[in-house]
Amino acid sequence: MNIYSKQNQFINRINTGITGLDKIIEGGLPEKSITLVSGPPGSGKSIFSFQFLYEGINKNETGLFLTLDKKVDGLIIQSKKLGFDFKSAIEDKSVKFRFLNINKKLIYEAMVNEILSGNFDRIVLDSITPLSEMPIYGNYSQNNESNISIINSEEYPPNTNLPIRRLHLHYIINALESTESTSIVTSELPMGSSLFSRDGISEFLADGVIILSFDPTMNRRKMSVMKMRNTKHTLKPQDIEIKEGGIQFI
């Protein structure tokens, strides 16, 4: 779907696979945008990601799922239970699931290599939180970003220096931005957090921010679009449910 933006440019919209969401964001995510999907454990971030990639398969697009969770096989089983069967897409190489080992020194390089390894239409990074909390060191200088390297998180204490962490996240977002892909990056949030991401930075770097939340006492799940560049959208939390077929608006 082509939408004529205020900047007089056509913006292609990429369906998320969540029909209700597409309806409130002018038809879908802006093509080539990066959207942060944040929420507490169990709020549906991974299911959102599966649904987004599966929608791509239905449209004969290609996808890359980068996970920091060891159990890629488990993820594929989990997604199949929800009705997203990636088996044949994996076999014909239209979708690639890749595990990134957070304890490996060259994780950032490995991630960038994967991102640049194909012309993926859709990329998911689930989640950015361990990467954004990983220490970095090197001859840090704001003028020479290439001196930064990433080290084994077990050997060095966490880096709390905000400018360096910001630069680190810039690297990750820059890698996604350098592609033609439309990307989803998930971020873990503590229950009841008022932040949009645990690092407090990713939301500024991303083009869009979607918050998933729930109210256990009311047995309700919610989705809120807090930011979506070039898009007129409501900020009102929308009632959602998770069932076979994934996330659906009520």
Ligand X SMILES: Nc1ncnc2c1ncn2[C@@H]1O[C@H](COP(=O)(O)OP(=O)(O)OP(=O)(O)O)[C@@H](O)[C@H]1O
Cβ-based nearer residue to ligand X, 81 or 236: 81
Residue 42 lies near ligand X (rule: CB under 6 A): yes
Q: Measured from the CB of residue 127, what is the shortest distance to ligand X in angstroms?
A: 7
DSSP state of 235: -
Cβ-based nearer residue to ligand X, 67 or 179: 67
Q: Measured from the CB of residue 15, what is the shortest distance to ligand X in angstroms?
A: 19
> Taking CB within 5 to 8 Å according to partner kind, which of ligand X, Mg ion, none is near residue 96?
none
Please give the single-letter amino acid code of residue 184: I
| Spatial distance between the Cα atoms of 192 and 88, rounded to a whole number of angstroms | 39
| Spatial distance between the Cα atoms of 238 and 3, rounded to a whole number of angstroms | 23
Residue 17 lies near ligand X (rule: CB under 6 A): no
CA 215 to chain centre: 23
Residue 45 lies near ligand X (rule: CB under 6 A): yes
Binding ligand X by CB under 6 A: which of 188, 199, 203, 207? 188
Residue 207 lies near ligand X (rule: CB under 6 A): no
How many of the chain's residues bind ligand X (CB under 6 A)? 14
On the question of a cis peptide bond just before residue 127, with omega within 30 degrees of 0, the verdict is yes
Alpha helices in the chain (DSSP H): 19-24, 45-58, 72-81, 87-91, 107-116, 129-132, 162-177, 202-205
Which residues are bridge partners to 182 per DSSP? 122
> Taking CB within 5 to 8 Å according to partner kind, which of ligand X, Mg ion, none is near residue 26?
none
| Token reading at 182 | 């439309």
| Spatial distance between the Cα atoms of 102 and 87, rounded to a whole number of angstroms | 26
Q: Measured from the CB of residue 224, what is the shortest distance to ligand X in angstroms?
A: 15
Residue 216 lies near ligand X (rule: CB under 6 A): no
Residue 224 lies near ligand X (rule: CB under 6 A): no
Q: Measured from the CB of residue 22, what is the shortest distance to ligand X in angstroms?
A: 19
Residue 242 lies near ligand X (rule: CB under 6 A): yes
The pattern of x and - marking residues 61 through 90 that bind ligand X according to CB under 6 A reads: --------------------xx--------
| Token reading at 190 | 């503590």
| Spatial distance between the Cα atoms of 197 and 142, rounded to a whole number of angstroms | 24
| Spatial distance between the Cα atoms of 174 and 155, rounded to a whole number of angstroms | 27
Residues that bind ligand X (CB under 6 A): 39, 41-47, 81-82, 188, 242-244
